[in-house]
Amino acid sequence: MASKSVEAGRRVRLPAGAEGPVEVFVNGTQETEGEDFTVRGSEILFNRTLYKEEVGRGRWLAMALGLFGSYERHDTVDVDFSLGGERKSISGASVEP
């Protein structure tokens, strides 16, 4: 029933046509462009590796039943950007190597 944190990567892809300003949050904390990440074309590149938790079936079932929680590192990325003149958000953006 073990879980472990594995490297997810450093990149998040923006949708085609996405424009700035781009605001990025990792685990609910706002990141600073130029310090924590840069935007290159349609990608956000982080200055550090982000992690995700891999949870086995047994552990997932135990968490779903409320027997215990998850204690490994799991970075969640949320992104706000403009698209077609409207502000859009991606919650739980996919992190790539």
Task: Tell me the residue range of the domain where 72 lies.
Answer: 3-91
Residue 33, domain member (yes or no): yes
Contacts made by residues 2-5, CB under 8 angstroms, sequence distance 24+: 2/56, 2/59, 3/53, 3/54, 3/55, 3/56, 3/59, 3/70, 3/71, 3/72, 4/53, 4/54, 4/72, 5/51, 5/52, 5/53, 5/54, 5/72, 5/73, 5/74
Residue 44, domain member (yes or no): yes
pTM for the whole structure: 0.80
pLDDT tens readout for residues 38-97: 999 999 999 999 998 766 676 656 656 776 666 667 899 999 999 999 999 999 999 999
Overall number of domains in the chain = 1
CATH number for the domain harbouring residue 71:
2.60.40
The number of angstroms, rounded, from the C-alpha of 53 to the middle of its chain's C-alpha atoms is: 12
Nearest Cα to Cα of residue 26 among 46, 6, 55, 7:
46
